[in-house]
Amino acid sequence: MTANAGPATDATAAAQADAPAEATQVLVLNSGSSSVKYQLLDMADSTRLATGLVERIGEETSRVTHAPLATGGAKREREQPIADHEEALRAVTEELTADGLGLDSPKLAAIGHRVVHGGQRFSGPTVIDREVLAEIERLIPVAPLHNPANITGIRTAMGLRPDLPQVAVFDTAFHTTMPEHAARYALDVETADAHRIRRYGFHGTSHAYVSRETAKLLGRDVTDVNVIVLHLGNGASASAVEGGRCVDTSMGLTPLEGLVMGTRSGDIDPAVTFHLRRVAGMSVDEVDELLNKKSGLIGLCGDNDMREIGRRMGEGDRAAQLAFEIYVHRLRKYVGAYTAVLGRVDAVAFTAGVGENSAAVREASMRGLGALGIELDAVRNSVRGSSARLISADTSRVAVAVVPTDEELEIATQTYALVSA
Ligand code: ADP
Q: Which domain holds residue 272?
A: 219-407
What CATH code is carried by the domain that includes residue 308?
A: 3.30.420.40
Considering the domain boundaries, does residue 1 fall inside one?
A: no
Dihedral sign (CA 201, 206, 212, 218): negative
Last residue of one domain, picked from the residues 150, 170, 190: 170
306 lines ligand 1 (CB under 6 A): yes
Eight-class DSSP state of 259: S
pLDDT digits (tens, 9 = 90+) for 393-419: 999 999 999 999 999 999 999 999 999
Environment class of 192 (CB within 10 Å of its CB; exposed 0-12, middle 13-18, buried 19+): middle
Query: 171 catalytic, yes or no?
Result: yes
Residues 259 and 331 grouped into a single domain: yes
Considering the domain boundaries, does residue 192 fall inside one?
A: no
pLDDT digits (tens, 9 = 90+) for 299-314: 999 999 999 999 999 9
Cα(45)–Cα(28) distance, integer angstroms: 16
Considering the domain boundaries, does residue 197 fall inside one?
A: no
201 lines ligand 1 (CB under 6 A): no
Residues 110 and 237 grouped into a single domain: no
Residues 367 and 223 grouped into a single domain: yes
Closest ligand 1 atom, CA of 297? 16
Residues 166 and 303 grouped into a single domain: no
Distance 104 CA to ligand 1 centre (A): 35
Eight-class DSSP state of 403: -
Last residue of one domain, picked from the residues 140, 170, 200: 170
Q: Kindly report the protein residue whose alpha carbon is nearest to atom 13 of ligand 1.
A: 305
Last residue of one domain, picked from the residues 131, 153, 170: 170
pLDDT band at 21 (very low <50, low <70, confident <90, very high): low
pTM for this one?
0.92
Considering the domain boundaries, does residue 84 fall inside one?
A: yes
Considering the domain boundaries, does residue 184 fall inside one?
A: no
Among the listed residues 231, 219, 111, 84, the one whose alpha carbon sits nearest the alpha carbon of residue 171: 231
Residues 235 and 367 grouped into a single domain: yes
Among the listed residues 98, 93, 87, 128, the one whose alpha carbon sits nearest the alpha carbon of residue 108: 93
Q: How many domains does the chain have?
A: 2
138 lines ligand 1 (CB under 6 A): no
235 lines ligand 1 (CB under 6 A): yes
37 assigned ligand-binding residue: yes
Cβ density class 401-410: b for 16+ within 10 Å, e for less: bbbbbbbbbb
Q: Which of 129, 171, 303, 406 is catalytic?
A: 171
Considering the domain boundaries, does residue 420 fall inside one?
A: no
Range with the largest mean pLDDT of 24-38, 52-66, 186-200: 186-200
In DSSP terms, 67 is beta-bridged to 51
Helix, strand, coil share of the chain (percent; to 5): 40, 20, 40
Dihedral sign (CA 179, 180, 186, 191): positive
Residues 226 and 304 grouped into a single domain: yes
Distance 181 CA to ligand 1 centre (A): 32
Considering the domain boundaries, does residue 398 fall inside one?
A: yes
Cα(54)–Cα(364) distance, integer angstroms: 37
Residues 162 and 231 grouped into a single domain: no
What share of the chain in percent tops pLDDT 70? 95
HEC secondary structure over 141-155: HHCCCCHHHHHHHHH
